[in-house]
Amino acid sequence: MELLFAIIAGVLFAAGLYLMLRRSILKLVMGLVLIGHSANITIFTAGGLTRARSAIIAPDATTLPAGSADPLPQALILTAIVISFGVLAFAIVLVSRAWQEVGNDDTDQFAETDR
């Protein structure tokens, strides 16, 4: 299962990098989103994939039961999702403003807006 998630993360990263190298600013934002998803899947996979037990500590125990997934990567991913949503919202507003100013999403056309 880890191998499958590693391949998926690699494909998402490669697709995101490909999109970020295009001239369209909208494709740049889409590539940023894909790379963020790739990082989230990588962190999730590094935390351990298991369905055996939930990551809940019993009242009389001090550690996680054997065979349970580490909850820290899951909390990091939730934080990363919120941060990436904020960055995406900012990027969409930035792309919208650039489209209004230039009338095109080609990054080569942005040099005309320098004053």
Q: How far apart are CA 30 and CA 8, in angstroms?
A: 17
Residue 85 has pLDDT above 90, yes or no: yes
Name the band, by pLDDT with cuts 50, 70 and 90, for residue 114.
low
pTM reported for the whole predicted model: 0.78
- The answer to whether residue 62 sits within a structural domain is no
- The answer to whether residue 112 sits within a structural domain is no
pLDDT of residue 4: 93
Three-state DSSP at 106 gives: strand
- The answer to whether residue 35 sits within a structural domain is yes
Picking from 39-43, 98-102, 109-113, which range would have the lowest pLDDT averaged per residue? 109-113
Q: How many domains are contained in the chain?
A: 1
pLDDT for 20-71, tens place per residue?
998 888 899 999 999 999 999 999 888 777 776 666 777 888 877 777 777 7
Domain span holding position 39: 2-52+68-107
- The answer to whether residue 98 sits within a structural domain is yes
CATH of the domain at 28: 1.10.287.3510
Q: How far apart are CA 46 and CA 6, in angstroms?
A: 10
If you average pLDDT over every residue of the chain, what do you get? 85
pLDDT of residue 64: 74
